[in-house]
Amino acid sequence: MVTRPDLESLARSILAIHPVRVVRWRKSLSGVAWHITKNGSLVETRIETPRPHTPLSFAIFAHELGHHLQRVERASWPSRMEQEYDAWQRAFALMRQHGVPITEKVERRYVQAMRYALAKALRRGAVRIPAYFVRFLDEPYLRRLQARARGRWNRNGKRPSVHLP
């Protein structure tokens, strides 16, 4: 297992490779990534993330870094939920590459984040759900989503419907 000082030094070495600026180390287990452009060209990429002391805080750090890597490799995404999914997959790949364990807490956070992204997409009128999101739709969760959707109407004046693969 990677120790606490090792995670911090690992994060510093990763930041030395990627041109990302950590604006603030957060005390909470949340993060945000954004980029600054001037005249249409990328000027700087910034993140706020918890200081990587534990596998969970390192996963959040790697997830925000994943958003930066998405920007470098691909300019646009079909949907925000797919972007979130890809950032988590990049975080897991980085953790495996450097021997950081993917603990049960990290897995729970991942599932929670994917369910939140899926629910948000459905609230905003998403009609198609990618096949790899089906695993986050267990029966109780799907019933809660359907109960929330009852009685709501989307922008076209129709009841929302979800098409699963």
**Residue 123 backbone class (left: φ over 0; alpha: ψ -120 to 50; beta: rest):** alpha
Check pLDDT > 80 for residue 151: no
33 DSSP 8-state letter: E
Whole-angstrom distance, CA of residue 153 vs CA of residue 150: 8
pLDDT of residue 97: 93
Strand partners, 25: 49
pLDDT of residue 119: 83
Check pLDDT > 90 for residue 58: yes
Percent of the chain with pLDDT over 90: 38
Check pLDDT > 90 for residue 55: yes
pLDDT for 22-33, tens place per residue?
889 999 999 988
pLDDT of residue 101: 93
Place of tokens 């910034």: 46
Better-scored residue on pLDDT, 35 or 104: 104
